Amino acid sequence: MNNDIEDQARQKTPRKRTLTVLGSSAAYPTPTHSCSGFLIDWDGYRIVLDLGYGTLPRLLAHLPEARVDAVVISHEHPDHFIDLHGLFRIRRYGSRPSTRLPVYCPRGVVDRLRGLEPEVDMGDEFDFHEIPADHRLGPFQLSCIELPHFVPNVGIRLSAADIVIAYTGDTGPDPNLAKLGADADLFIVDATDRPGEFVAGQRNLLSASEAGRWATRAGAKRLMLTHFWPGNDRQAAAGEARASFCGEILVATEDLEIPLNSGRGRD
């Protein structure tokens, strides 16, 4: 019954198709920047991509009680998932929704989350689905590609009739980036520029210039740079990406809301 009521309310909601940046910092938060997180609102169906340090308060500012329909987490580093524990506590002790929230994530995220509070069952509030695997999320088809990082990381691709949104999580250079972002209307790409990364034995993060090159190889329409190393010049990063990508470049900034649009289908 409650699901029917929620579906009816969603149908009456004026159409809104946006992505809101909840956080954009790599490794740790700063006074002005939270860690990785994004909110997608597609005609009232709401998906969160990653919930790192400091993203939950920003989510609550946009959605009181954090009423979302699904959460997708790219990997188990805390700057990408730790505020999922706060969301669990809101649901357990606060809003008390009638149904469990679908959470799509690698196995390591579930293990670390349960380790934070082993005396309670995270499955009481969350319905976990392991990725990489394909799943249906409301109007979107979720497909996943494993990408190189210090821990298992899953690149996320959300496809609907009118839009393709792709997100790398954290990754080093890899040919699968072109597949992940192929013809994407919005390609959200790691642009960490971590000091010392280029002399690492194994590459696990990207630079802004590399983000531009991979977006070009993918044929993406718009590029959003994110996951900036604290203290980096973000506008300079955009300039580096612009040298190899001729489409629109967006710099992920907390609370930035952008329209999600495409010429793929009828408006």
pLDDT in tens, 152-192: 999 999 999 889 999 999 999 999 999 999 999 999 999 99
What mean pLDDT, rounded, does the chain reach?
Answer: 93
Chain segment 49-75, per-residue pLDDT in tens: 999 999 999 999 999 999 999 999 999
Task: Give the containing element (helix H, strand E) for 189.
Answer: strand 186-190
Let me know how long the chain is: 267
Find the helix or strand (DSSP H, E) in which 206 lies: none
Tens of pLDDT, residue by residue over 194-209, are 998 888 678 999 999 9
The more confident residue out of 15 and 47 is 47
pLDDT above 90 for 13 = no
pTM (whole model) above 0.85: yes
Backbone angles phi, psi at 132, to 5 degrees: -80, 130
Q: Which residues of 58-86 are buried (b: 16+ CB within 10 A; e: fewer)?
A: bbeeeeeebebbbbbbbbbbbbbbbbbbb
Report how far residue 212's alpha carbon sits from residue 85's, in angstroms, rounded to the nearest whole number.
Answer: 33
d(CA 87, CA 170): 22
Task: Give the H or E element holding residue 89.
Answer: helix 83-90
